[in-house]
């Protein structure tokens, strides 16, 4: 039998219990969560909002809460993930220091991108730590950089295009195909507020030891510091960091 820690944090315990409930029940409402945990509705709502923010839950059209991608996505790279983080860390630190913006490492899991490491900028106005965040690959700079390394037919299969339940509308699919073509030509991807208002990013795919593309590095910044001219400065710095990780 496991004993409750003497200095237990009730808020943490409640959040973990909610994760268990989402995993086991499949759907929760705020009233259900409050009743299960014996807490107020407002407290339950705040806890569930944090789980949504970290990818452990998501809301459906009825405002119920479902298991999020952090609970349903597979584990990327298995045991190689720790080695990837270790290999990328020095280059990410140097890149952050040189460009003074937050640097992220991400991997693709299906049609999602999981942020597995971040080095935060020291600037007062900056993009925060994204570790643990899961976002649609088609809307992140690193995700698009990784999708661009696949053949168009492989991307179509990934998104179920041509099936009864495609993952993208025809307009979204046409837009993605056009964007990936540009990414392949220039070697990097951009995210102009695709995931969050006021945030821009530049991303580039990187290869693992077997030569396959396994992850991506991105530089994320507030929109106020983004410009086409700055992209011209960031891309060589990002390329140098990718080359350093691939050569480590």
Q: What is the CATH number of the domain that holds 129?
A: 3.30.450.40
Nearest C-alpha neighbor of 191 from the set 135, 246, 233: 135
* Whole-number pLDDT of residue 146: 96
Per-residue pLDDT of the chain (248 residues; tens, 9 = 90+): 344 556 557 888 888 888 888 876 778 889 988 888 888 899 989 998 888 888 788 888 788 888 877 766 655 555 577 788 888 999 999 999 999 999 999 998 888 898 889 999 999 999 988 887 888 999 999 999 999 999 999 999 998 988 888 889 999 999 999 999 999 999 999 998 888 889 999 999 999 878 889 899 999 999 999 999 999 999 999 999 999 999 88
| Residue 176 domain boundaries | 80-246
* Whole-number pLDDT of residue 156: 93
- Furthest-apart CA atoms within the chain: distance in Å: 61
Q: Are residues 229 and 110 in the same domain?
A: yes
Which of 55, 72, 89 is at the close of a domain?
Answer: 72
Residue 1 included in any domain: no
Burial label, 105 (beta-carbon count in 10 A; 0-12, 13-18, 19+): buried
Burial label, 197 (beta-carbon count in 10 A; 0-12, 13-18, 19+): exposed
Q: Are residues 51 and 135 in the same domain?
A: no
Nearest C-alpha neighbor of 33 from the set 53, 8, 16, 9: 16
* Whole-number pLDDT of residue 62: 84
Q: Are residues 94 and 196 in the same domain?
A: yes
User: How far is Cα 83 from Cα 77, in angstroms, rounded to an integer?
Assistant: 10
Q: Are residues 66 and 90 in the same domain?
A: no
16: domain CATH number is 1.10.10.10
Number of structural domains (the chain) is 2
Burial label, 47 (beta-carbon count in 10 A; 0-12, 13-18, 19+): buried
Q: Are residues 135 and 102 in the same domain?
A: yes
Please work out, in degrees rounded to the nearest 5, the angle formed at the alpha carbon of residue 93 by the alpha carbons of 123 and 223: 40
* Whole-number pLDDT of residue 2: 43
Which of 23, 38, 72 is at the close of a domain?
Answer: 72
Residue 5 included in any domain: no
Which of 26, 43, 72 is at the close of a domain?
Answer: 72
Q: Are residues 29 and 137 in the same domain?
A: no
Q: Are residues 139 and 205 in the same domain?
A: yes
Residue 4 included in any domain: no
């Amino acid at each position: 039998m496991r004993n409750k820690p003497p200095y237990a944090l009730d808020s943490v315990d409640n959040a973990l219990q909610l994760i268990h409930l989402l995993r086991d029940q499949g759907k929760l409402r705020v009233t259900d969560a409050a009743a299960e945990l014996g807490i107020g509705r407002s407290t339950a709502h705040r806890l569930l909002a944090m789980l949504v923010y970290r990818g452990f839950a998501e809301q459906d059209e009825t405002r119920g809460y479902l298991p999020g991608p952090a609970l349903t996505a597979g584990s990327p790279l298995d045991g190689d993930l720790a080695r990837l983080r270790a290999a990328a860390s020095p280059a990410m630190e140097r890149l952050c220091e040189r460009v003074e913006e937050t640097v992220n490492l991400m991997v693709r899991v299906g049609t999602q991108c999981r942020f597995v490491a971040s080095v935060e900028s020291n600037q007062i106005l900056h993009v925060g730590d994204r570790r643990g965040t899961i976002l649609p690959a088609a809307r992140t700079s690193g995700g698009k950089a990784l999708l661009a390394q696949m053949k168009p037919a492989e991307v179509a299969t990934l998104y179920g295009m041509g099936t009864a339940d495609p993952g993208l509308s025809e307009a979204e699919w046409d837009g993605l195909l056009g964007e990936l073509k540009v990414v392949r030509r220039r070697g990097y991807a951009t995210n102009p507020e695709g995931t969050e208002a006021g945030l821009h990013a530049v991303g580039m795919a990187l290869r693992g030891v077997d030569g396959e593309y396994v992850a991506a590095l991105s530089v994320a910044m507030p929109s106020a510091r983004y410009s086409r001219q700055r992209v011209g400065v960031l891309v060589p710095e990002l390329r140098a960091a990718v080359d350093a990780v691939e050569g480590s």
